[in-house]
Structure 1
């Protein structure tokens, strides 16, 4: 058996060279002229990698193989978030002192988080460093708040459209699947847009009229939509509801319209019966973009085998998320790999992806928050968020291990590939999981 590399040994190698690999691999990569997307001196990223390596304990050969394969692969996250920028503390404080409401402050904070990487040089550098450290080509980016209100959905969509317009030379909006493949060939980064709900006019004059915004949002660049969030809506029941009535008549019409328009159907947050019936209704490959396998750990945000099989029968996939509470057990990278293993063996390598549902946040966030003055009563103007109606999260007693979140950090993507190598998956299977499957589903749904 090849010798295992220790956490300390990995960290020492990582910090003493520009590459997190054995010297032999460094020579090989230089000889091939390849670019490694995961080399960084960012202490936060390296600490998270160290935690993950402490769980994985790969041999030098496994590490070398996994990192090289990751660098060569098209990596398309099935659902997630681009690196988040720090807010501008002084500007935020001025806005708060000027009498801005809590809703306005929440809006401003989100706008800064989603767009400052495109307008601030320091944040741009941080954004690109994290993105390249992850070795991700494209993220199916959340660009719409939870719910069906079109005006709420438009805000986040506008922000990411604005940011990718301004910084398109570094990170662009992908309009169609071939843009993603082209980005990989060119060594560029891109985002593909999704929303956390189907936009509804709320006029209820007719089914066709109520659903016509799906086409409008498709024209604005959205390519995937949640059927529900955690609560019941006119389409069906969310995963947080105690009872699941399944996909409604209106929900069937919505799925048909999404198929017609070219919008991928996503049941990540839908109840099990609603998910099953949506899969049976869809005529195109559909997804549960960020979920877990109920056959490994039963959780309301996971999907039981029957539901996963129905999704796979459409030609679609499930994306395994990186939320410890949904994964169960230790909730770390090892358990995450257990879910991937199970899905591949039970349902086939063609139907598995990764959608972490987590994000990297700028290292400068804490310092910027410290610049925001307290309110006269002593409270912080940053404390403006209250639980949204859509955020129905049934209480459980799960307690993840302290290391779990760090081991699954968004920037640890290259180590997910190393872990898959350790589990004995072929290069072809790993490439499918990393991005080829999601690209195939995107192509199967594409309508101009």
Structure 2
């Protein structure tokens, strides 16, 4: 949607009021000359967003220091753009601490408790009124239309993958008047026009039968999960699997013969190939094998900061050659440097200048967390003498590759200020709208329309 559309003023006012613009930031530490704008004045009569969102905005403005002109233009542009995140997480609810405590008292197994810890933040956004209210507040404050939502747990076991998919399907069913599961790219476009929110589902692994009878049989669940709503799949997570090597492995043998068959089947069925967590050689060979646009949905540029989760120029070029893209994430340790919103913008600038504006998106890989999380966690009894939980199989993070504090300026609700930052960097409105959602929408549409 462009600024010239007839409903532009209405949408602008709605967004600025929902986000409470930036009128409250003067008291939060940002320079008043950067926040006392006409846009802020327009929002002033309404209640400001919660203090977590306010503080995050203040942190971003402290880094950006935008002019009044850039701030107002960025907010207007964001409000009227289709914002489609290439990989991320919808805001998360707090767990129900009392429910987990009762389960522990009843003798629930560790597996049952893990299921509860996983399930509750995903479904309580729909089942608990207070969590639902905060969920929608955060989503609206971000000005995001659609998230390519992690809806499949890390790994290849269909029974594990389907649990997370079921939970997000359940939540979107209950929230359907405000948040729905998008089945096609056209659904995402319609959501923007209707001022609704939606999720487009991805899985952190390719579902495999693991019976090893023959290749076609082993890959049969790709179509099944596509029919259930999954539109993108990771080739690997951090560990080596039968398709290829993950980014956490010390050596990278590349894409296996079976991995090539999996890429071909994803191309055929209409599932986007994602190498965000794959090793560099595996990523390169997956791009060379893919006949459809593919992605590294949440990564960084290794040329700016070498990290296991970054991608070197050779890999980025191969991905671009498919018609695909790289999504830049918001994890400070992966970005390097100052690790704040300015560093994040540096990575976007690098990809735009080196590979073209058609090949970059934003996949934050972070989530807004309910303000009730700590209070609910405090209700869960601490078990003295309990053994420390071992890292999960898939969670292979070499020493020093994971950790560090998250930068407040990169909070998920700061999406409007990502746009302001892009305006400051001199990108045209057309380029910014591609980065905000146009590019990943194009890839999603190309892969959807190519399905057999």
Q: What is the TM-score of this pair, normalised by structure 2?
A: 0.90
Corresponding residue for residue 152 of structure 1:
160
Cα drift, residue 11 of structure 1: 1.0
Distance 1:148 1:427, change over 3 A: same
Note the 1:49-448 alignment, pairs <5 A.
49-375=57-383, 377=384, 386-396=390-400, 400=404, 405-446=407-448, 447=451
Task: Give the drift of 1:24.
Answer: 2.7
TM-superposition CA deviations, 1:296-343 (whole Å, max 9, x none):
111111000000000000000000001111101111111100000000
In 1, Cα distance between the equivalents of 2:407 and 2:121? 21
SS in 1 for 2:213: coil
1:413 and 1:384 map into 2 onto residues whose CA distance is 37
Question: Matched residues in 2 for 1:165 and 1:388: separation?
Answer: 30
Q: Is the 8 Å Cα contact of residues 40 and 133 (structure 1) preserved in structure 2?
A: no
Map Cα deviations across residues 215-257 of structure 1 (whole Å, 9 max, x no partner): 0000000000000001111101111111111111100000000
Distance in 1 between the 2:326 and 2:360 partners?
Answer: 5
1:40 Cα deviation after fit: 4.0
CA contact (8 A) 1:69 1:417 kept: yes
User: Shift of residue 385 of structure 1?
Assistant: 5.1
Work out whether residues 290 and 354 of structure 1, in 8 Å CA contact, stay in contact via their aligned partners in 2.
yes
Q: Secondary structure at the match of 2:444?
A: helix
Q: How does 1:19-58 map to 2 (within 5 A)?
A: 22-25=36-39, 40-58=48-66
Give CA deviations for 1:158-188 in whole Å, capped at 9, x if unaligned: 0001110111111100001100000001010
CA distance in structure 2 between the partners assigned to 1:28 and 1:103 by the alignment: 50
Q: Give the superposition deviation at 1:118.
A: 0.6
Closer, same or farther in 2 for the Cα pair 1:397/1:170, shift >3 Å? Answer: closer
1:126-176 per-residue CA deviation (whole Å, 9 max, x = no partner) reads 100000111100000001111101100011000001110111111100001
SS at structure 1 position matched to 2:186: helix
SS at match of 1:353: strand
Contact residue 13 and residue 22 of structure 1 kept, 8 A:
no
Conservation of the 8 A alpha-carbon contact between 2:23 and 2:35 = no
Q: 2: distance between equivalents of 1:263 and 1:385?
A: 34
Structure 2 contact 25–35 (Cα < 8 Å) conserved: no
What is the root-mean-square deviation in Å for CA atoms of aligned residues?
Answer: 2.3
Q: Cα distance 1:92–1:242, how it changes in 2: closer, same or farther (>3 A)? A: same
Q: Distance in 2 between matches of 1:349 and 1:385?
A: 44
Q: Deviations over 1:362-384 (max 9, x none)?
A: 00111111222334x376xxx98
- Rounded Cα–Cα distance in structure 2 between residues aligned with 1:428 and 1:322: 23
Instruction: Label 1:393 to 1:135 Cα distance change in 2 as closer, same or farther (>3 A).
Output: same
The whole-number CA distance in structure 2 between the counterparts of 1:388 and 1:142 is 17
**Corresponding residue pairs, total:** 425
Deviation sequence 1:260-315 (CA, Å, 0-9, x none): 00000000000101100100110100000000001111111100000000000000
Gaps of 5+ in 2: 1-21
> C-alpha distance in 2, partners of 1:384/1:219?
39
- Where structure 1 has 5 or more consecutive residues not aligned to the other structure, the ranges are 1-7, 31-35
Q: Which residue of structure 1 lines up, in the alignment, with residue 15 of structure 2?
A: none
Aligned-partner SS, 2:310: coil
Measured after TM superposition, the shift of residue 14 of structure 1 is: 8.5
SS at match of 2:334: helix
Do 1:102 and 1:384's aligned partners in 2 also have CA atoms closer than 8 Å? no
- The 1-side partners of 2:43 and 2:325 are apart by 33
Shift of the alpha carbon at 1:10? 6.7
Report runs of 4+ in structure 1 exceeding 3 Å deviation.
20-23, 25-30, 383-386, 397-400
Summarize deviations over 1:16-59 as a string: whole Å, max 9, x none. Answer: xxxx96443367899xxxxx9xx842100110111111111111
TM-score by length of 1: 0.91
